[in-house]
Amino acid sequence: MRRHRKKRKNTGWIWMAALVLFLSTAAPASAQEKFDSTAEYAILMEASTGKILYEKNADKPLPPASITKIMTLLLGFEALEKGEAGWDDLVTVSEKAWRMEGSRMFLEPGTKVPLHDIMTGISVVSANDGCIALAEHLCGSEEAFVQRMNERAKELGLTQTQFKNANGLPAEGHHMSARDIAVLARYLITNHPKILEIESTTDFTFNGVYQKNRNPLLGNYPGADGLKTGSTDEAGFCLVGTAEQNGMRLISVVLKMKNEEVRKTASVELLDYGYQNFELYEVAKEGEIIDEVPVRNGKELNVPVKINEPVSAVVPKDRKEDIEITVVPKKETVPAPAAANTVVGKAEIRLDGEVLTTAEVSTAKEVEKAGFFTILLRNIADFFRSLFKVSRG
């Protein structure tokens, strides 16, 4: 059963309305077709739905540099969530952590540093030394921590990811794809939103050293509040950006850029493309009646069905009226008696035949079973209707 959101007017001006509709929908589609990211490896995702709005060579495994730290931070947050660690835990800094090169928070060997500072240093100033300190604190060694990183990658379905260390310094076989990075970033943001509070911090001072957040989008792009930069000679310049505008959060990934400026430009172009061409639209509210399904042996022949949760979908701008809701029942008919709120199937939200998302549907009210004679009369009527159809055939 299908409910069309598209409105139709039966007037003599249909041809003109059709022309207007064509022009209004064709323009955004054309803009989408013409867009080509300046990044060779890129992806753009809407965070709440996971909808991919743009991709280019998104499955190519590449050195991710400090983008690796998104997984390191995820394991930190998950340890906190499980009670395996606390924000005020004191992390002992090893000589190995102290000797880390590249971006650092300048930990001193033998000192004890609150876990909160370690997590902040990794997030804000991309601290390589902080990653080793965290890994050793949670798993005893970086090697054991990296094993957990790879296990978690498999659990999350990251098919083009393999970690060799906790901070992304160059190592043979250490790689991620743009798609895997976007999926991981979405998971971290969705399940541990505190990361955005930390990542949006513009500066960090530790051990007397003041450093600025390396994310070029912060303070320069509307709604930007994360997520992670990375750069090595091997990986080039990488950036996972995220921003929220008008209730829609986007995640952009660009990899292997030539310098900081083109990395920023490519990220801004991706985010602009998303916000200019798409919107997050609430298709149906929780409890909204969307259709009805037939009932077998009920006092009523049909029962209305409702959406069990709010349903939103990412759609091209000016295409909301083209969305269709199709109810797909579990069975051809609902057997009576049936209580209210009985799950009877799902709703498929479609645009141009593509399923954007789905949601459970249930009966909006109770359906009682019909009496014996009512059922008998219906069966007799159905019998004669079938004979009539045969005779006409």
Catalytic residues: 66, 69, 126
Note whether 145 and 166 are within 8 A (CB).
yes
Of residues 246, 248, 198, 252, the one with CA closest to residue 225:
198
**Calpha distance 63→230 (Å, rounded):** 10
CA dihedral for 270, 273, 275, 278, sign (positive or negative) = negative
**Calpha distance 128→214 (Å, rounded):** 14
CB proximity list for 323: less than 8 A, separation 6 or greater: 5, 6, 281, 283, 313, 315, 349, 350, 351, 356
Helix (H, G, I), strand (E, B) or coil at 343: strand
Paired tokens of 27: 């323009």
Q: β-pairing, 311-316 with 324-329?
A: unpaired
Classify residue 167 by burial, with Cβ atoms within 10 Å: 0-12, 13-18, 19+: buried
The amino acid at residue 82 is: K
Cα→Cα distances 273→26, 281, 335, Å: 16, 17, 49
Classify residue 31 by burial, with Cβ atoms within 10 Å: 0-12, 13-18, 19+: middle
CB proximity list for 301: less than 8 A, separation 6 or greater: 294, 295
Helix (H, G, I), strand (E, B) or coil at 208: coil
Q: How far is the first Cα of the chain from the last one, in angstroms, to the nearest whole number?
A: 27
Note whether 241 and 221 are within 8 A (CB).
yes
Cα→Cα distances 347→146, 235, 310, Å: 41, 44, 12
Paired tokens of 303: 């029962």
Element (H, E) at 33: helix 14-34
* Distance from the Cα of residue 187 to its chain's centroid: 7
